[in-house]
Amino acid sequence: MKQPQTAALVVALVVAIPAGVGAASAPARSAQTRTVRIHDIGFHSSRLVIQRGDSVRWKFVDPEVSHNVTSRGHTRFRSSPTRLTGSHRVRFTRRGTYRYVCTIHPNMRGSVVVR
Ligand SMILES: [Cu+2]
């Protein structure tokens, strides 16, 4: 008589636990890639807020004007060369505020906040 009861309890737990966990935690979120367009001698948008594991892709689409993405400040990421076309992609794995500039146009500034 004892064994069937134990088996029923095990079955009940196996069924109940996944449902409970799913309800209590946030839904799974897959990593995203956000795009910053470089044109009109600016970064658009100049401030991004992303989650750890996400990537940022800077697209160089300013006709006839070359730019770069150069990391500045305490928290650094891989900078890009100066270029006219193409893109530069960086995956951010650590929290922090990452500031960057275009060294050719010092008024071109941006930041990526990783939460
Ligand atoms: Cu520039």
Question: How far, in Å, is the centroid of ligand 1 from the Cα of 7?
Answer: 68
Question: How far, in Å, is the centroid of ligand 1 from the Cα of 102?
Answer: 5
Rounded CA separation 79/24 (Å): 40
- Res. 5 pLDDT band, cuts 50 70 90: low
Question: How far, in Å, is the centroid of ligand 1 from the Cα of 93?
Answer: 26
Percentage of residues in the chain with pLDDT exceeding 70? Answer: 77
Percentage of residues in the chain with pLDDT exceeding 90? Answer: 72
Question: How far, in Å, is the centroid of ligand 1 from the Cα of 85?
Answer: 12
Question: How far, in Å, is the centroid of ligand 1 from the Cα of 97?
Answer: 21
Picking from 76, 74, 42, 75, the residue whose alpha carbon sits closest to that of residue 58 is: 42
Rounded CA separation 75/2 (Å): 61
Rounded CA separation 56/48 (Å): 9
